[in-house]
Amino acid sequence: MTLEQNWDRIREVVARAGHCALASVDADGGPHVTPIGTVFLRDDATGFYFDEYTEALARNLDADPRVCLMAVDTRPTLWGRMLLTGRFPTAPGVRLYGTVGATRPATAEELRRVRERVRIPVRLKGGRMLWSNFGHVRDISFTDYRPVGYPHMPSPLQR
């Protein structure tokens, strides 16, 4: 199945994952992985994330915009059920491949979405330190995906 055919299921996996990681390539050709807690997917195989606290990632993307976004559902209920039944009831994770655009100011709708996501933790001191100063995003256009899978356990998210 194509990226577009599985897009709704992919969006569900990413939404359940909460935090994601973006892999990029540094100036020496080495891999660099950055945790990103503010990834949002749209309806059309694109997304965006808030480009805050990502100096090394930003440098890498300015030189090479290709990325791999990985999202893994870490809910104990998913993994506990898999251990009991030997299969995943929903896809445990996904890797999305694409390119990232230049930094731009966030729209009012994008700011609303991130504020909704962090509305509870931002009430705490650490949450305010991390999530009070959003202003810039980068768009991501996805071109391919691969389900996260484990040997002998088929994933409900098929290629």
Tell me what pLDDT residue 83 has. Answer: 79
- pLDDT band with cut points at 50, 70 and 90 for residue 37: confident
- pLDDT band with cut points at 50, 70 and 90 for residue 28: very high
Tell me what pLDDT residue 122 has. Answer: 62
Tell me what pLDDT residue 136 has. Answer: 92
Q: Residue 142 forms beta bridges with which residues?
A: 98
As a residue count, the chain comes to 159
Structure tokens at 29: 């050709």
Degrees (nearest 5) of the Cα angle 103, 109, 115?
90
Tell me what pLDDT residue 74 has. Answer: 79
At position 122, the amino acid (one-letter code) is: V
Domains and CATH numbers, the chain: 3-106+136-145 (2.30.110.10)
Cα of first residue to Cα of last residue in the chain, in angstroms, is 5
- Average pLDDT of the residues of the chain: 86
This prediction's pTM: 0.85
pLDDT tens digits, 122-158? 667 766 656 667 889 999 999 999 988 776 666 666 6
- Cα–Cα separations (whole angstroms), residue 125 to 57, 91, 135, 147: 26, 34, 20, 36
